Structure 1
Amino acid sequence: MNFKRIASLLAWLLFAVIAYSTLSPIGMRPHIGTWVHVERFGAFGLLGLLFAGAYPGRLPLVVAIVLAAAVGFELLQMLSMDRHARWEDFAVKLAGGGCGVAAGWFIARRWPRFAHRPPRINQNSNYPG
């Protein structure tokens, strides 16, 4: 298994975990014991990082997935009786996702082995092979 496949599997798994914890009743929501904004920022940051690592050449798609997840999960909370959608929560999720995508993009640009790009060939050299 290569890096992109593992990152893709983990990204979609984390997406499902975030969906469960966002849409489940408030008493069933898992938490790590710290501020909820730190949890939201970290979860969406990791989601953005994993999606950016899984799909390094598709930055607009990655941004759309993370943005749609933040918007969709926040809007779907309005359907639940004990959950609520807030602009503040949406902003934290979006900031975390944006930071994660940016970090993933930076890693893919700096370390080409994580990106799926063919090696560059020097066209000006006299090497025949």
Structure 2
Amino acid sequence: MPHKLSAAVAWTSLAFISYATLSPIGDRPQLSNSADIEHVAAFAFLGFAFCTAYRKRLKFVCSVVPSSAVALEFLQTLTPDRHGKLLDASEKIIGGLLGIFLAIVALRLLERWTTPSDA
């Protein structure tokens, strides 16, 4: 995927997650019966998206994804009908790091499969 498109996917994902996290509870999109699964899955996708968009900037990715989880949980404490929890932040951080790990593995496998061998 070209860099601009993958970067757009990553930042759009963060914007959507921000909306879902900070919007009034009645407006929050619900994709699963388990908020825990939603937290992990959303941030796993976010981590994967950022890692594929910024392949050569792993430190940037590893700072943006977890810090987004912490920042969004903190910002929830400022909304009238939402509440930030340490457990929720932990789930999001774990999901984000899982997504980053999976992207690294996928990118290395892709590189191995597409690089001509010296046979």
Tell me the residue number matched to 1:33: 32
SS in 2 for 1:79: coil
User: Larger helix proportion, structure 1 or 2?
Assistant: 2
| RMSD of aligned alpha carbons | 1.8
Question: 4+ runs of 1 displaced by more than 4 Å?
Answer: none
Aligned length: 115
Matches within 5 A, 1:1-129: 2-112=1-111
Structure 2 unaligned spans of 5+ = none
TM-score by length of 2: 0.89
SS in 1 for 2:77: helix
TM-fit CA distance, 1:68:
1.3
* Structure having the higher Rg: 1
1:62-103 per-residue CA deviation (whole Å, 9 max, x = no partner) reads 010101110100000010111101111011101100000011
TM-fit CA distance, 1:32:
1.3
TM-score by length of 1: 0.82
Structure 1 unaligned spans of 5+ = 114-118, 123-129
Q: Distance in 2 between matches of 1:27 and 1:80?
A: 13
